[in-house]
Amino acid sequence: MPFAKFRFHICFFLILSLPTLAQAQYVLVLQKGDNLKTRIIYEVGETITYKQRDVEGFLTDRIVAIEEDIIEMSENVLLPKQIEVVDISEKDERNQTLTNLTLLPLGAGALLLTAETVNSLYSEGRVSVSEPSLMISGGLLFTGLVMSQVRYKRFRHKNRRKIHILSIAEWKESLEED
């Protein structure tokens, strides 16, 4: 009798899990050419900001489901070819690297200016900054401010830039090839 109960539970579990096993999961992939390192991946549940063809302005929506050829949002259903531009300023990992690189010249300029000021205060008894130190620290600060404006902001769907829908298995397989 215990074996019959056990068999019933296994059959019940398999029947419940069968739809999830049969259904493939998909991801939305933004990619330029064949470069796998710059891929940007959106999964179900993530928020995406995009501009749809023939619609003014950007829309921000949450991805509810990704099927083989459509993307279901919480307020919209569309094909990948209907997306003209995707705002990637928050999603692209390279922006974090640029932010870190921006802090280096800003910090160096501020440190040089502070060291020169403290040094003059200690040696001369008054606050003064030499002209070369002022020019170098100004140049470093200016470089940091200019670099802070450099970001990967938008992914335009045209030419070699493609928006794909891949199954999780295809996506993992392409990662293993790299």
Could you give the percent of the chain with pLDDT greater than 90? Answer: 28
CA 164 to centroid of chain Cα atoms: 16
Could you give the percent of the chain with pLDDT greater than 70? Answer: 82
> Is pLDDT at 150 greater than 90 in this prediction?
no
Q: What's the pLDDT at 177?
A: 65
Q: Is 61 helix (H, G, I), strand (E, B) or coil?
A: strand
Helices 94-124, 131-148: axis angle to 10 degrees equals 160
Residue 83: count other Cβ atoms within 10 Å of its Cβ: 21
Rounded distance, CA 81 to CA 67, Å? 14
| Model confidence pLDDT, tens digit, residues 52-102 | 888 888 999 999 999 888 899 888 899 888 999 998 888 877 778 888 889
Where in the chain are the domains?
A: 2-88+154-177, 94-148
pLDDT band at 51 (very low <50, low <70, confident <90, very high): very high
Q: What's the pLDDT at 7?
A: 60
